[in-house]
Amino acid sequence: MRTIKISNKTMYFKYVEVEVSVPDDVEDVQEWLYENENDWAERTNNALDKVDYNYGTGNWLEGMSQPLSNSVWRYDVEEDGKHIDGGHL
């Protein structure tokens, strides 16, 4: 009789969105977000504490498929319902 091992890695993730008010005269949104991280990071983390886990990797989420990262942060700028800017933080 042989002994074998059965292994399983099951992925779960949480996903939230928070809205941040950025002044109209800001040209570099990403830089402004870095400089004002205290305005949104804690709210994002608090929101994550309140949501349930989802089964899977979440790679189907637009712009969130970073396979070597344990956490993905990004921003997206929309005007009149159209995506005009965005990127990773």
> Which pTM does this prediction carry?
0.72
Give CA separation, 85 vs 27, 28, 30, 74, in Å.
11, 10, 10, 11
Phi-psi bin for 81: left (phi > 0), alpha (psi -120 to 50), beta?
left
Interval 44-89: pLDDT, tens: 999 999 999 999 877 767 766 666 677 788 888 888 888 888 888 8
